[in-house]
Structures are given as structure tokens and as C-alpha cells.
Structure 1
Amino acid sequence: MQNQTKDTNGNKKIRIDKDTFETIYQMYWEKVYAVCYNNIREIEPAREMVQDIFKSVWERRHELELENVNNYLIRSAKFKTFEYIRNKVSQQQHICIKYQDCTHSSNCTEEKVLFNNLKEKVDILVDTLPCQCRRVYKMSREQGLSNKEIAAALLISERAVEYHITKALSVLRVNLSNYSS
């Protein structure tokens, strides 16, 4: 690739422009897709992840200087699949709690009261969050939207969505610590 520079240690760095991006895309898209697909075994989400990764590379082309493109893209694919799995598990747990059936419990009434108290406390805490943080949290946890969908709906970056969700969960964690079992 022609668009190479050297850092102070003499390591080659690749700057991204239109030509290098196209070359990188052609060389690595299949490998990145394979990493995504092999981790989640779902075609469409894997394709979306690949597009997100390359979109991010393109959007950050002015600040990116890559020493090892292969490692960078594979690491990005692993992070994307981890995020996808984490969100999917979180969403499934949320659904399980929301529709919890306590037929297996001997003290169902007590559990329902505790659950309702906890839900009320969570709702109150969520209402105290800053506006954008609250909106992002509710779209994620109540509507079950992905970070990408939230980012598109609110016209913010996926990183901003992740920041708001992390902030909301941190507030909840701190204020609900006495509810842990």
C-alpha cells in the first residue's frame, strides 16, 4: 500500500484514504465476516457488523494510523460480536424478568412484592437520569432496540449510546446495591 508513513520508532503506519480503504475492504471483508459469523452464527447480524466496522474505519480515516490492519479489523470484529452477544443476553434476561412466572416458588406473593418494589425504585431512578441518558436507556431496555437502532433514531454515534447506557447502569448499580442478593 502506498499510503504508508513511519512513526518515531520506525514502525510502518498506514493512513486511510479512498484507495487504501477500498484495498483494505477487498482484502479483509471476507475474513472479518468469517470472524463475526463464526461467533454468532447469524448471517444478517454478521453482515451488519462487518458494515459497521468498515464504516467506522472510513469515518475515522483522518485520525487512524494502522500498524497492522489485519489485527485491528479482527479485534474490531471480536469486540462487535462480544457487544452483540452481551446485548442479546441482556435483552433475554430483561424479557425473562419482565414476564417472570413464579409458579416454582413457595413464596410467590413475597417475591412479587419485592419485584414490584424494585421495579418502582428502578423507574424512579431512571426518571432522575439526564434526558438523553434516560431516553437511550429506555429505548435499549424497554423497547429492546440495539445500539445501532438507537444511534440512528437519535442521530448520535453508537459510542454515545454505549456511554449513556453505561452511565445509566452505573447509576442503577450504585443506588440499587442494597437490593442484591
Structure 2
Amino acid sequence: MDKQGDRKIAVYDLGGGTFDLDKTDTEKTILVYDLGGGTFDVSILTMEDGIFEVKAVNGDSHLGGEDFDNNVVSFLISEIKREHDVDLSKDKRAIGKLRAAAENAKKALSVAFSTEINVDSLFQKDGQYVPFKKNLSRAKFEQLNMELRMTLTRFFLLVVLLVFQRCLKRLLFQSQKCWRMLNLNKQLLEEYFNGKKPNQSVT
């Protein structure tokens, strides 16, 4: 309970993780996603009177943050091949360094529009170790991972539509309430359907 004593903090456990929410009398619809190193989970749940109810769960046990890193590593290997005529695709030591650099770049691009990848002594050429520097923009990162981004979008959409379908089938909610549940993901739906807005007047 907070200092005013009028709110409690709810801690909800999902997929081995937890998150905190303010408990209020207002009904909430929440989308929770967890993009781990090797898995992706997305859930929709409602909270009313401090009680959680899971409405839908989806995910991919073979999709995670490492997939984004691997795409960046592949790009860097191709750039090194182009710039230095050196193939590092089978060099485990170099790939390990590039993967660490790719992960750091991914984190940096979450708050910046560009970042510099700087790896010391990455490979040998003419008997000497050569460093590698490359500027990576957020736009390029998104381009490299466009297919993964679309996969995440499809999972979000599937979960949202599953909730909507159950909402109608069980006749527990009026159609307007169903649309309020979808409103949390309105932007996602608009992006997926090329900017078309959901028709909230459907009854």
C-alpha cells in the first residue's frame, strides 16, 4: 500500500517473469510481452477489482533477442568481406566478438538513432590484427530485422483477434466493450492493415 493508503500494487507472474500494476477499481486490459534471449511470449489479460484473468496467450519458443543479434552479425560479416576481403563466417572467435558488439548495439539503438560498433583486434590480415568500426543506424537495424518485426506483429495480432473472437462467442461483452479491449493495440492494427482504422461503430 502506498503512502496515501488508497492503492495496492499488484504483482502478476507470467512466463517466469513479474510486473507491477496499480490496483484500482477501473477495469484494465493489458498486453504483456516478453522477448527473451530465445523465446517470445505475448498475453492479453484483464484486471478488475484487483483480479487478473488471462484472455489469450501466444508466442514462439524459437524466437528471441538472439535472432535480432544474429541478423546484425550476418550484416557485419558481409560488410567485412566487402571492405577487407576477409571471410569470418567460420571464425568462432570473431563471431563471438561480433555477437557481443551486436547485442550492445541493439541496446544502444533502443534509446539512440545510431551507434558505433567498435571491435578491437577482430581478425588478422597480413600477419596483424585489424580492428573494425561500423556505424549502425536504427533504420538499418530495423531493415535488417524487418522479417522478425513482422513475425512479432503477427503474434500480437493473433492474440488480439483471439480475444475479440472469444468476446463475441461467449456473449459476455457487448460489441462496444470488445472494441475497447482492442483499443490498446489500435496502432498495431492500423500498421498491420496499412493505416486503415478499426470501425468502432460495428454492432
Q: Please tell me the TM-score bracket, short chain as reference.
A: under 0.3
- Per residue, is there more strand in 1 or in 2? 2
TM-score computed with the length of structure 1 as normaliser: 0.26
- Which protein, 1 or 2, shows the higher relative CO under an 8 Å CA cutoff with sep ≥ 6? 1
